[in-house]
């Protein structure tokens, strides 16, 4: 194997393999993620189902108070046939109850509450380690205590409708599902992991893929247990794994490797060969990536349909769902709902633009309303009504897989380019050994820069055309809307203006820094210490400095106002007033940056040959004249460099604003980077924030280009 | 060392020049000038130090002493207990540990990438070298804020939010360090390397045994700068950490600042604690800082 072949294997085949592995990983993980998302969704539905069924049970018990009261003493189990699993019914007097039940009832605060307030209350207790529900139904002259174990029945019902096995877990008692077998420690482990979190989790535990959601009490206030679901055999099938694209990817990678290999070892002219080889190498992966992306969208679309199907099943698991208000229905379904009669919407859990749902023909599909795309599923209900479930289409949010592929693809392209470079080594009379070493030296840095700088830069551009909220699954394409909004966003322009004003610290600092540099460019004792002192603020913690200056600026007790007071000035409100806050930041910035600029000026001063000064002194030029005629002109490149780099730096100020003013008061210190940060992480408008950051990038880019051009001209003679 | 030498040469010649024409008045003027220079320099230096001294002084005051007008310059009796009290009010040990871990990995990453890539760009010849180098330099133009959101989404997708991996991985390469190392390698003579090659050393050996040992001062500069930059970095750690236990010092004291907003002695004690490690480092190594800034500043 020649050295070139080995280099080829290392630099092209390896990234290609990474690419293939990445594709397979993305395909697999996206399917796994969809599956566990659905499971998590169903866990939430199950919890909601249990909650609402108990709520309706409570209501029904309450409604049947008269009936209960009439059937004094004669409340056998068979009389409550609508709760099949109800084991035993007790009534007051408590003496007639079995001992454990009586004890449980007597200890119950819920009983007291029921007795006092005349409400029907359900309370969870354990008797002999068995979880049961006690219902307290206040009757005119006594309190009926009913012992119920409805969960098995509910679990069976849920399973019939949705295909998901359901288990409920309260504190340390498991209500086992009626179907399937569950290891006992599984629910308790899940329950432990859920404590304190108000969210659903999907996980694999002890070989089971399960999902769990917190089970709330009737008021949706306390978490009383955990609902756990597992996909049963009757559950709707998940979208299949994209085997075909995966195979296509592997073939494509093989073609890549072969194509480049043959291009490198063929007999035609080398440059010609490289061109063709490159094209041949890149085409198959491009096709494969496109295919994968398309399949991924397809799978996501099917997953959306499955989600809506499952939500519909969850709703139909309760009897007569349309008696519930729409917000409860929406909670039960886990998606938004609307109720239609004919073609008009009679109730909806979400504000829909008028006529959105008119002309809904199919039972499932997508509809568009303005910029909004919605997936829906319509269920026919009694009395000519229709329940429409609405959800953002998942396929709209699954573009990140494509971007991940794009990143990997860039790596592959880089590998191919490297190989092209290596293959042309001999042509240019260079050493192959050297070139291979060089590329292996650069490869880690290059790869990291591609993944964490180049790709994010492009991704930010992509983001700026999308509505991107971290918490919303839908990331709709919005075109140039963000840029249009930017142009008329007063707060953005305010931040831009503040940033520009803030950057005025740069020329101010330069004057002082140059003076200090000239002062310290002399042979005086302790000059090293002085330089260190000037430089100190720049290297220390900016957060600490911000805190110290906030204290210095304290309007009542700060050192600065006291000092001004001694001179008969002030007091100045500094950071507390919109008129002076930005000025306060500028003064602090001057203090911080003097040392940094001074060091550069010192280097510039020391590079001016002394002969110039000697000649000038012989001609009788005074110090001022020497400064204006020699120092300043010869320092021009340095001055220019300091000016441009510092201004670019000043555009990116953040820490001081974050710590000292949070952009206030009244947005007086709201600078661009802080504004972007707020939009991205506080208002969660990452797309819009990306548009702003690209605008800033464009400005900095132009400034830098100007720098190169001007600096190039100035440097040219020397 | 070289920087000090240059200074000395400059001053000497300046002195000779000054002695040229009329001796007596010149000597007189020089004496006045020297006194004036000293006075000015010391005055300015003292002004620069005021915030630091005020920080230390406040950190030793009682809460009562802080809110007095006119302000007290020094506490009546230094209240050292502010330090243990402030530092136990938030997990400062953990903050320092986090900063330490983060700095360790990033400094090492910068050293590894800067020395290898810098060497390749300076010394090794391969097709496309200049284009790739310009690509690297172009990175310096991109403001970090543009990369912030996509980097966060990337790190979030990898499940690295609120982990050391998330704090570290995006920062492993410093283009600035690569540039500095390249400039340094260009400035040292090739002879030794060529001799090693003639003796049959592999490219790797030339780099590892010959070039790298010669570049220790530049490596020290890179290490120092990346250490200080990492220690000072704020925005990225702020968004990529969520729990108190993962915060580095800078983000930690910013959070502390929010919690004890009116307790200035506490705040100042925390600030002093954050400043002191860098201060000590800086006092012993300022020569490398100065050199680093000048190399990167002037030849860029």
Between these two residues, A277 and A203, which has the higher pLDDT value? A203
Q: Which residues of A touch B38 (CB under 8 A)?
A: 524
- Quick count: other Cβ atoms within 10 Å of Cβ A528? 14
pLDDT at A52: 79
**Position B9 confidence tier, pLDDT thresholds 50, 70, 90:** very low
Contact A557 B68 (CB under 8 A): yes
User: Cα-flanking dihedrals φ and ψ of residue B21, to 5°?
Assistant: -80, -95
Contact B147 A453 (CB under 8 A): yes
Task: Scan residues 89-108 of B and list those with Cβ closer than 8 Å to A.
Answer: none
pLDDT at B167: 92
Contact A452 B141 (CB under 8 A): no
Contact B121 A596 (CB under 8 A): no
The residues that bridge with A130 in the sheet, in sequence order, are A127
CA distance A424 to B19: 63
Contact A523 B15 (CB under 8 A): yes
pLDDT of A102 above 90: no
Q: Are A188 and A15 in contact (CB under 8 A)?
A: no
Instruction: Give A214→chain B minimum CA distance, Å.
Output: 23
Mean pLDDT of A249-256: 70
Is the CB of A291 inside 8 Å of chain B's CB atoms?
A: no
Question: B270-296: per-residue pLDDT in tens?
Answer: 889 888 888 888 888 877 777 777 665
**Position A83 confidence tier, pLDDT thresholds 50, 70, 90:** very low
Q: Are A498 and B9 in contact (CB under 8 A)?
A: no
Is the omega angle on the peptide bond into residue A665 within 30 degrees of 0, that is, cis? yes
Q: Are B289 and B180 in contact (CB under 8 A)?
A: no
* Four-residue CA torsion sign, A536, A542, A547, A550: positive
> Roughly how many angstroms between the first and final C-alpha of chain B, as a whole number?
22
Contact B150 A455 (CB under 8 A): yes
Question: B44-76: per-residue pLDDT in tens?
Answer: 888 888 889 888 888 888 877 877 777 777 887
Task: Give the distance from CA A355 to its chain's centroid.
Answer: 33
Most A CBs within 10 Å, among B133, B135, B148, to test the A interface: B148
Across the interface, of A445, A523, A617, the residue whose CB is closest to B11 is A523
Contact B143 A700 (CB under 8 A): yes
Question: A608-619: per-residue pLDDT in tens?
Answer: 888 888 888 888
pLDDT of B298 above 50: no
Chain A residue nearest residue B115, CA to CA: A441
CA distance A92 to A140: 12
Chain A residue nearest residue B202, CA to CA: A433
Across the interface, of A444, A545, A603, the residue whose CB is closest to B298 is A603
Instruction: Give B252→chain A minimum CA distance, Å.
Output: 10
pLDDT of B15 above 50: no
Is the CB of A269 inside 8 Å of chain B's CB atoms?
A: no
DSSP A423-486: HTTGGGT--HHHHHHHHHHHHHHHHHHIIIIIHHHHHHHHHTTB---TT-S---B-TTHHHHHH
pLDDT at A85: 32
Q: Are B126 and A440 in contact (CB under 8 A)?
A: no
Q: Identify the helix (H) or strand (E) that includes residue A378.
A: strand A372-380
CA distance A296 to A311: 22
Chain B residue nearest residue A689, CA to CA: B149
CA distance A626 to A622: 6
Q: Out of A241-245, A318-322, A452-456, which region has the weakest mean confidence (pLDDT)?
A: A241-245
Share of chain A above pLDDT 90, in %: 9
**Position A181 confidence tier, pLDDT thresholds 50, 70, 90:** low
CA distance A487 to A657: 24
Chain A residue nearest residue B140, CA to CA: A704
Most B CBs within 10 Å, among A430, A540, A564, A596, to test the B interface: A540
Q: Which residues of A touch B238 (CB under 8 A)?
A: 658
pLDDT of A182 above 90: no
Q: Is A375 helix (H, G, I), strand (E, B) or coil?
A: strand
Across the interface, of A422, A451, A641, the residue whose CB is closest to B297 is A641
Question: B241-257: per-residue pLDDT in tens?
Answer: 888 888 999 999 888 88
**Position A84 confidence tier, pLDDT thresholds 50, 70, 90:** very low
Contact A543 B250 (CB under 8 A): yes
Query: Average per-residue pLDDT in chain A?
Result: 74
pLDDT of A718 above 90: no
Strands in A104-238 per DSSP E: 121-127, 130-138, 143-148, 164-170, 173-175, 201-205, 208-216, 223-231
Contact B116 A596 (CB under 8 A): no
Q: Out of A49-63, A266-280, A678-692, B201-215, which region has the weakest mean confidence (pLDDT)?
A: A266-280
Most B CBs within 10 Å, among A418, A426, A453, A530, to test the B interface: A453
Task: Scan residues 25-84 of A and list those with Cβ closer than 8 Å to B.
Answer: none
pLDDT of A245 above 70: no
Share of chain B above pLDDT 90, in %: 18
Question: A351-379: per-residue pLDDT in tens?
Answer: 776 666 766 666 777 777 666 678 888 88
pLDDT at A558: 83
pLDDT of A267 above 80: no
pLDDT at A412: 67
Instruction: Find, among A632, A551, A539, the residue nearest to A584 by Cα.
Output: A551
Environment class of A81 (CB within 10 Å of its CB; exposed 0-12, middle 13-18, buried 19+): exposed
Most A CBs within 10 Å, among B273, B297, B299, to test the A interface: B297
Q: Which residues of B touch A545 (CB under 8 A)?
A: 51, 271
Task: Scan residues 637-676 of A and list those with Cβ closer than 8 Å to B.
Answer: 637-638, 641-642, 645, 648, 651-652, 654-655, 658-659, 672-673, 676
Between these two residues, A20 and A594, which has the higher pLDDT value? A594
Any long-range contacts for B106-110 (C-beta under 8 Å, 24+ apart)? B106/B168, B106/B171, B106/B172, B106/B226, B106/B230, B107/B223, B107/B226, B107/B227, B107/B230, B109/B168, B109/B171, B109/B172, B109/B173, B110/B172, B110/B173, B110/B174, B110/B177, B110/B222, B110/B223, B110/B226
* DSSP tag of A657: I
Instruction: Give A654→chain B minimum CA distance, Å.
Output: 8
Q: Are A339 and A387 in contact (CB under 8 A)?
A: yes
Is the CB of B40 inside 8 Å of chain A's CB atoms?
A: yes
> Roughly how many angstroms between the first and final C-alpha of chain A, as a whole number?
50
pLDDT at A643: 86
pLDDT of A642 above 90: no
Is the CB of B59 inside 8 Å of chain A's CB atoms?
A: no
Chain A residue nearest residue B262, CA to CA: A551
Most A CBs within 10 Å, among B64, B105, B126, B129, to test the A interface: B126
pLDDT at A692: 92
Contact B14 A439 (CB under 8 A): no
Is the CB of A424 inside 8 Å of chain B's CB atoms?
A: yes
pLDDT at A213: 82
Most B CBs within 10 Å, among A417, A439, A441, A651, to test the B interface: A441
Q: Are B150 and A459 in contact (CB under 8 A)?
A: yes
pLDDT at B109: 94
Contact B293 A542 (CB under 8 A): no
Query: Order of strands across the sheet with A201-205?
Result: A173-175, A164-170, A223-231, A208-216, A201-205
Q: Out of A285-289, A616-620, A676-680, which region has the weakest mean confidence (pLDDT)?
A: A285-289
- Quick count: other Cβ atoms within 10 Å of Cβ B253? 27
pLDDT at A131: 62
Select, from the ranges A453-457, B8-12, B64-68, the one with the highest average predicted confidence (pLDDT): A453-457
Chain B residue nearest residue A677, CA to CA: B145
Token pair recorded at residue A336? 């938004």
- Quick count: other Cβ atoms within 10 Å of Cβ A217? 16
pLDDT at B2: 40
Contact B175 A449 (CB under 8 A): yes
Token pair recorded at residue A438? 């060089």
Q: Which residues of B touch A527 (CB under 8 A)?
A: 41
Is the CB of B257 inside 8 Å of chain A's CB atoms?
A: yes
User: Cα-flanking dihedrals φ and ψ of residue B72, to 5°?
Assistant: -80, 135
Question: B163-210: per-residue pLDDT in tens?
Answer: 899 999 999 998 888 988 888 888 888 888 888 888 888 888 888 888
Q: Identify the helix (H) or strand (E) that includes residue A366.
A: strand A364-369
Token pair recorded at residue A206? 């002890």
Is the CB of B254 inside 8 Å of chain A's CB atoms?
A: yes
Cβ-based contacts under 8 A for chains A and B: 322
Query: Average per-residue pLDDT in chain B?
Result: 82
Share of chain A above pLDDT 70, in %: 64
Question: A469-478: per-residue pLDDT in tens?
Answer: 766 656 677 7
Contact A540 B235 (CB under 8 A): no
CA distance A80 to A89: 9
> What is the total residue count of chain A?
718
pLDDT at A25: 67
Any long-range contacts for A149-153 (C-beta under 8 Å, 24+ apart)? A149/A85, A149/A86, A149/A87, A149/A175, A150/A53, A150/A54, A150/A57, A150/A83, A150/A85, A150/A86, A151/A50, A151/A175, A152/A85, A152/A176, A152/A177, A152/A178, A153/A83, A153/A84, A153/A85
Contact A437 B238 (CB under 8 A): no
Mean pLDDT of B213-229: 87
Q: Out of A87-101, B32-46, B159-173, which region has the weakest mean confidence (pLDDT)?
A: A87-101
pLDDT of A293 above 70: no
Question: A565-609: per-residue pLDDT in tens?
Answer: 888 877 788 888 888 899 999 999 999 999 888 888 888 888 888
């Amino acid at each position: 194997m020649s050295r070139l072949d080995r280099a080829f294997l290392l630099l092209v085949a390896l990234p290609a393999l990474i690419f293939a592995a990445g594709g397979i990983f993305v395909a697999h993980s996206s399917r796994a993620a969809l599956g566990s998302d659905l499971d998590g969704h169903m866990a939430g539905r199950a919890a909601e189902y249990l909650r609402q069924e108990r709520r309706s049970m409570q209501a029904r018990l309450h409604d049947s108070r008269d009936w209960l009261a009439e059937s004094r003493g004669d409340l056998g189990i068979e009389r409550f046939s609508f709760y099949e699993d109800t084991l035993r019914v007790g009534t007051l007097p408590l003496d007639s109850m079995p001992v454990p039940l009586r004890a449980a009832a007597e200890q119950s605060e819920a009983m007291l509450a029921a007795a006092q307030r005349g409400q029907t209350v359900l309370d969870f207790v354990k008797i002999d380690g068995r979880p049961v529900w006690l219902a307290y139904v206040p009757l005119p002259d006594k309190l009926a205590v009913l012992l119920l174990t409805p969960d098995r029945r509910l679990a069976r019902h849920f399973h019939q409708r949705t295909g998901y096995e359901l288990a409920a877990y309260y504190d340390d008692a498991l209500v086992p599902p009626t179907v399937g077998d569950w290891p006992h420690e599984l629910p308790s482990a899940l329950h432990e992991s859920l404590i304190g979190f108000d969210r659903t989790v999907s996980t694999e535990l002890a070989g089971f893929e399960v999902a769990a959601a917190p089970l709330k009490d009737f008021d949706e206030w306390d978490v009383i247990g955990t609902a756990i679901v597992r996909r049963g055999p009757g559950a709707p099938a998940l979208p299949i794994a994209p085997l075909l694209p995966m195979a296509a990817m592997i073939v494509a990678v093989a073609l890549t490797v072969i194509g480049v290999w043959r291009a490198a070892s063929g007999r035609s002219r080398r440059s010609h060969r490289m061109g063709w080889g490159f094209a041949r190498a890149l085409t198959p992966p491009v096709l494969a990536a496109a295919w994968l992306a398309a399949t991924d969208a397809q799978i996501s679309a099917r997953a959306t349909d499955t989600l809506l199907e499952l939500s519909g099943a969850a709703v139909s698991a309760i009897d007569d769902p349309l008696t519930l208000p729409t917000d409860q229905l929406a909670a039960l379904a886990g998606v938004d709902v609307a109720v239609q009669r004919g073609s008009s919407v009679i109730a909806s859990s979400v504000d829909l633009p008028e006529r959105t749902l008119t002309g809904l023909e199919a039972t499932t599909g997508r509809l568009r309303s303005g910029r909004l795309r919605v997936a829906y599923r319509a269920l026919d209900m009694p009395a000519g009504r229709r329940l429409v479930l609405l959800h953002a289409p998942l396929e709209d949010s699954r573009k990140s897989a494509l971007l991940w592929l794009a990143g990997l693809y860039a790596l592959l392209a880089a590998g191919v380019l490297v190989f092209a470079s290596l293959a042309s080594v001999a042509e240019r009379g260079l050493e192959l050994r050297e070139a291979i070493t060089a590329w292996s030296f650069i490869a880690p840095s290059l790869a990291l820069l591609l993944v964490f700088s180049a790709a994010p830069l492009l991704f930010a551009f992509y983001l700026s055309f999308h509505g991107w909220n971290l918490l919303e699954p839908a990331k709709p394409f919005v075109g140039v809307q963000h840029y249009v909004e930017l142009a008329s966003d007063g707060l953005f322009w305010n931040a831009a203006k503040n940033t520009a004003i803030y950057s005025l610290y740069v020329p101010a600092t330069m004057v002082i820094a140059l003076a200090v540099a000239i002062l310290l460019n002399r042979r005086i004792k302790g000059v090293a210490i002085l330089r260190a002192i000037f430089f100190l603020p720049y290297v220390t913690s900016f957060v600490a400095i911000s805190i110290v200056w906030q204290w210095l600026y304290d309007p009542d007790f700060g050192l600065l106002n006291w000092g001004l007071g001694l001179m008969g000035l002030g007091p100045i409100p500094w950071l507390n007033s919109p008129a002076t806050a930005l000025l306060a930041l500028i003064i602090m910035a001057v203090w911080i940056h003097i040392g940094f600029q001074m060091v550069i000026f010192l280097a510039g001063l020391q590079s001016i040959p002394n002969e110039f000064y000697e000649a000038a002194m012989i001609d009788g030029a005074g110090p001022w004249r020497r400064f204006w005629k020699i120092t300043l002109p010869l320092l021009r490149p340095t001055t220019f460099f300091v000016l441009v780099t510092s201004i670019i730096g000043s555009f990116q100020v953040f820490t001081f604003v974050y710590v000292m003013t949070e952009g206030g008061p009244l947005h007086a210190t709201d600078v661009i980077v802080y504004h972007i940060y707020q939009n991205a992480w506080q208002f969660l408008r990452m797309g819009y924030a990306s548009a702003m950051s690209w605008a800033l990038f464009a400005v900095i880019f132009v400034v830098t280009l100007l720098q190169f051009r001007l600096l190039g001209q100035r440097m040219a003679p020397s | 060392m070289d920087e000090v030498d240059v200074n000395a040469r400059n001053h000497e010649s300046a002195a000779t020049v000054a002695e040229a024409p009329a001796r007596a008045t010149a000597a007189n003027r020089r004496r006045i000038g020297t006194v004036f220079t000293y006075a000015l320099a010391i005055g300015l230096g003292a002004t620069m130090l005021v915030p630091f001294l005020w920080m230390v002084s406040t950190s030793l005051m009682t809460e009562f002493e802080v809110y007095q007008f006119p302000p007290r310059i020094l506490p009546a009796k230094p209240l050292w207990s502010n330090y243990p009290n402030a530092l136990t009010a938030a997990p400062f040990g953990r903050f320092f540990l986090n900063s330490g871990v983060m700095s360790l990995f990033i400094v090492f990453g910068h050293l590894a990438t800067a020395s290898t890539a810098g060497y390749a760009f300076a010394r090794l010849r391969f097709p496309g070298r200049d284009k790739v180098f310009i690509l690297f330099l172009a990175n310096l133009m991109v403001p970090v804020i543009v990369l912030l959101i996509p980097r966060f989404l990337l790190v979030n997708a990898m499940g690295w939010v609120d982990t050391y991996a998330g704090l570290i991985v995006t920062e492993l390469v410093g283009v600035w360090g690569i540039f500095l190392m390249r400039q340094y390698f260009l400035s040292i003579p090739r002879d030794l390397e060529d001799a090693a090659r003639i003796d049959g050393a592999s490219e790797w050996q030339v780099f590892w045994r010959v070039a790298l040992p010669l570049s220790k001062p530049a490596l020290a500069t890179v290490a120092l700068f990346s250490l200080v930059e990492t220690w000072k970095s704020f925005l990225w750690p702020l968004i990529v950490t969520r729990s108190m236990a993962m915060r580095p010092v800078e983000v930690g004291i910013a959070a502390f600042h929010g919690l004890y907003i009116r307790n200035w002695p506490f705040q100042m004690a925390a600030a002093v604690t954050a400043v002191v490690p860098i201060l000590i480092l800086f006092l012993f190594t300022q020569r490398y800082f100065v050199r680093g800034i000048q190399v990167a500043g002037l030849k860029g």
